[in-house]
Chain A
Amino acid sequence: MRPGRWGLAGAVLVAAPVLVGIGYTALGAVGVVGVGAQGFGLARIGRVLGERAVWSGLGWTLAVATAATALATAAAVLVAVTFRSTRPGDRAARALALVPLPVPQIVAAAAAVLLLGQSGYLARLAHALGLIGAPEQMPPLVYDRSGVGLILALAWKEAPFLSLIAFSLLAVRGAALEEVARSLGAPAAERFRRVTWPLLWRGMLPAIIAVFIVQAGAYEAAALLAPSDPLALPLLTLERYTDLDLARRADAFVLGFVGMLLAALAVAAHEWARHRWELLEP
């Protein structure tokens, strides 16, 4: 076999568990396999996709992932642009920005509960400053429909990864391009808008998409920080999968399949963004 075939065969093997999973959830969704299987039919898909809870959960999940990704991206760009020199202060800032990189999601979520919960440390500080009395007076940041606690925890966890890429983009490509713009007489604001930002955006886009995927699928952070209504898609999927009513368990196949489809779309977007960037690479 030619080496090219081996490469693709290996890749198919690595993806096989997911492909099997997609097939299994798809067959489960149409009632052919799994718990609650009653022979082929599209009724379950129609019923699950007709539920308001499913759409509000999906919408909420995507909105939270979008907000967390945007926040992490903004923080990464801000840090990379502000602290880009080799001065000790800038180096320290870049090192500090990377501290949460190896922190597991479950730890970020646990810390968020202790910090942002209604009797958490922030609430205690607010009490000490005389801003609130009882814990209930603290605006809810955790288990809240607005998802503030979840957004902050996810953004805190993923910003370092994006920062790392932003640092390397500016260090490797940014300085030279900006110098050209400067020598052509472009003022600072113009240089950022026309050179630095487009460079960062194009270079970071594959990673931004990857971060979005991870955040949309996040289970443990949502389990600790998300509200019960609307129920985030990963939580809703698991809830149905472990439902006491066996007939409802198969709903999880439909939801799992939807999640897999969205992930596959995101993977395609990721490859497109990476390819587009590679075309620019010298």
Chain B
Amino acid sequence: MTRRLPAAFGLAALALSACVPLALLGLWSVAGAWFYPALRPPTFTLEAWRALASARARLGPAALASLGLALANGALAAAVAFPVGRALAALAGWRRRLGAALVFLPVAAPPIALGIGLQYSALVLGLGGTPLGVLLAHAVPSVGFLSLYFLGIFTAFDRRIEDEARSLGASPAQILRRVTLPLLRRPIAEAVLLGMLISWAQVPLTQLVGGGLVRTLPLEVLAYVRSGQDRYAAAGALVLVLPGLAAIAAARIAARRAEVPPL
């Protein structure tokens, strides 16, 4: 009995903490002019949501740009991180620790400091202010993150099954295509998804490397919150949350993430 009451309070607090911020965003996204101290919006409008579907408003094209970048980044980062994580998993001792620390560096680097360095590289390569430059910038922390992810996956992966295929005469390409990739289909799909989410939420690297020319959804949300246009900010913010929530509901992604650092 002594435990029940605090536990009930705890459960209620968790429910509030999980729901209130998202519910508020939902309410604000459809509220008409809603001023202090009104507790509920006097009028409702779908204007902000229509802006998301419109090619002429700012939110719609920004959401599309974000989606394109996320898809490309997910595929690119997973493709690069896969062999890196695999090679790292073959290491032992100080080499493994040094390797893990090196790939962790892009994840840990302060985004603004990282962005300043990347902006320089992008300008030298003639990619400053271009979607390709922004994509490559997003790939930097994503590849680091996913290399750690694949390091975890390949540490648990039993390579003897590949040896078996080799002893039966399979070539390295055949082993990859017929054995390794099919076995790891699910972790690879999750890696692509994680890579998409990292790009989807990215602000400072887009801002610095995109130079204001590449407008993504998180940048528009930041601008709308700053200018007090709460309805647009809330609608954009909710759209930013949805893929992640859907992913977490669909996949067991949460359990896997226990092995890698946070986004």
Which residues does A use to contact B, with CB under 8 Å? Answer: 3-4, 6-8, 10-15, 17-22, 24-25, 34, 78-79, 82-83, 89, 92-93, 96-115, 119, 121, 123-125, 127-128, 135, 156, 158, 161, 164-165, 168, 207, 210-211, 213-214, 216-217, 219-220, 223-224, 233-234, 237-238, 241, 252-253, 255-257, 259-260, 262-264, 266-268, 270-271, 274-275
Contacts and interface: CB of A to CB of B under 8 A. Distances in A.
Interface in B199-220: 200-201, 203-204, 218
Given A123-B36, A161-B262, A164-B258, A114 B113 contact: no
Interface stretch (B51-59, B170-178, B183-191, B236-244): B236-244
B114 interface: yes
A201 to B, nearest CB: 16
Question: For the complex, would chain A's binding face be called helix, strand, loop or mixed by DSSP majority?
Answer: helix
**9 tightest A-B contacts by CB?**
A21-B117, A102-B244, A104-B201, A217-B110, A210-B261, A111-B21, A256-B113, A99-B18, A119-B36
B10 A260 contact: no
Given A17-B117, A115-B21, 9 more contacts: A7-B90, A106-B221, A106-B240, A107-B221, A111-B25, A112-B21, A211-B261, A214-B261, A271-B97
A106 B113 contact: no
Interface in B89-113: 89-91, 95-113
A220 B111 CA distance: 10
B42 to A, nearest CB: 13
Contacts, number: 293
Interface string B13-34: 0110111111011001000000
Given A14-B106, A107-B240, A211-B262, A96 B18 contact: yes
A10 B98 CA distance: 12
14 contacts: A3-B87, A7-B95, A15-B105, A17-B118, A18-B105, A21-B121, A99-B19, A107-B221, A108-B21, A110-B225, A214-B261, A217-B113, A233-B110, A234-B112
Given A93-B11, A219-B203, A252 B116 contact: yes
Contact of A11 (B7, B37, B102, B226): B102
From B22, B84, B105, residue with most partner A Cβ within 10 Å = B105
Nearest to A270: B104
Contacts of B1: none
Given A102-B248, A104-B240, A111-B24, A220 B203 contact: yes
A18 B116 CA distance: 10
- Residue among A156, A219, A255 facing the most chain B CB atoms (10 A cut-off): A219
Contacts of B109: 18, 21, 217, 259-260, 263
B229 to A, nearest CB: 11
B203 A93 contact: no
B96 to A, nearest CB: 8
**What DSSP secondary structure best describes chain B's contact surface?**
helix
**Residue from A25, A107, A256, A268 having most chain B Cβ neighbours under 10 A:** A107
Contacts of A121: 24
B8 to A, nearest CB: 8
Contacts of B20: 115
Nearest to A75: B17
Contacts of A135: 36-37
A272 to B, nearest CB: 9
Given A82-B7, A156-B21, A223-B222, A10 B83 contact: yes
Nearest to B85: A10
Contacts of B241: 102-104, 107
B87 A259 contact: no
A20 to B, nearest CB: 6
Best-buried of A7, A96, A161, A264 by chain B (most CB within 10 Å): A7
Nearest to A6: B87
B140 interface: yes
B255 interface: yes
Given A18-B114, A106-B201, A220 B28 contact: no
A100 B109 CA distance: 23
A264 B244 CA distance: 29
Contacts of B11: 83, 89, 92-93, 96
B108 A263 contact: yes
A15 B244 contact: no
Contacts of B121: 17, 20-21, 24
